[in-house]
A and B are shown apart, each in its own frame.
Chain A
Amino acid sequence: QKEVEQDPGPLSVPEGAIVSLNCTYSNSAFQYFMWYRQYSRKGPELLMYTYSSGNKEDGRFTAQVDKSSKYISLFIRDSQPSDSATYLCAMNDNYGQNFVFGPGTRLSVLP
């Protein structure tokens, strides 16, 4: 079992839809959780990070962490074609060190 799992997609949705992206993990020591967006052939770009369980909102993006289930989610409201990218979750157990990334989910938002 991989440390971090993510549905690879591709996930296709119509413009304006609410998108739910998810990761599961096995290491209960993970405390810091991040979501990155990666456009084709570009470096990943940090969208949000959260510490421990709970929700965090930033504009159209909401990150949720459920440590009891070892499950994290990223919701995108009012999705736009410009949101089409691969979304990577990442986490670590030791502040600023040794990040573990999920394999990424490819999202396509259709106009």
Chain B
Amino acid sequence: DSGVTQTPKHLITATGQRVTLRCSPRSGDLSVYWYQQSLDQGLQFLIQYYNGEERAKGNILERFSAQQFPDLHSELNLSSLELGDSALYFCASSSPTGLEQFFGPGTRLTVL
């Protein structure tokens, strides 16, 4: 158990809908990262927050947004969902060095 929690574990929804994925980092970690993992694309970095502020942005679509709250939990919002958004979404938090990332168990999103 990495200490990073993610909810929900599974999510099934329809095209055009909006969903929110939630992540709680390990105690004491200030950085949260979001990743998307699909079969044909591998693990893609989406966005990083550090202590409530956006720190780095990767291949995140404009339909997706994230935020980190004062209690350091983070939410990833996915809107106008398309079939191609079906994937595993992972959250990770990092130690103060920033190099050791601890991944949560992931949320499996299925868009029908």
Contacts and interface: CB of A to CB of B under 8 A. Distances in A.
Interface of A: 32, 34, 41-46, 49, 88, 90, 94-104
Given A44-B90, A45-B2, A104-B42, A99 B102 contact: no
Contacts of A44: 43, 90, 103
B103 A96 contact: no
Contacts of B94: 96
A96 B42 contact: no
Interface in B56-73: 56, 58
Contact of B43 (A46, A49, A101): A101
A38 to B, nearest CB: 8
B78 interface: no
Nearest to A99: B45
21 contacts: A41-B108, A42-B106, A43-B4, A43-B92, A43-B103, A43-B104, A90-B43, A95-B97, A95-B98, A95-B99, A96-B31, A96-B99, A97-B55, A97-B56, A98-B45, A98-B58, A99-B45, A99-B101, A101-B42, A101-B44, A103-B42
Interface of B is mostly: strand
Interface of B: 2, 4, 31, 33, 35, 42-45, 48, 55-56, 58, 88, 90, 92, 94, 97-106, 108
A100 to B, nearest CB: 7
B99 A49 contact: yes
Contacts of A32: 99
A96 B90 contact: no
B35 to A, nearest CB: 8
Contacts of B58: 98
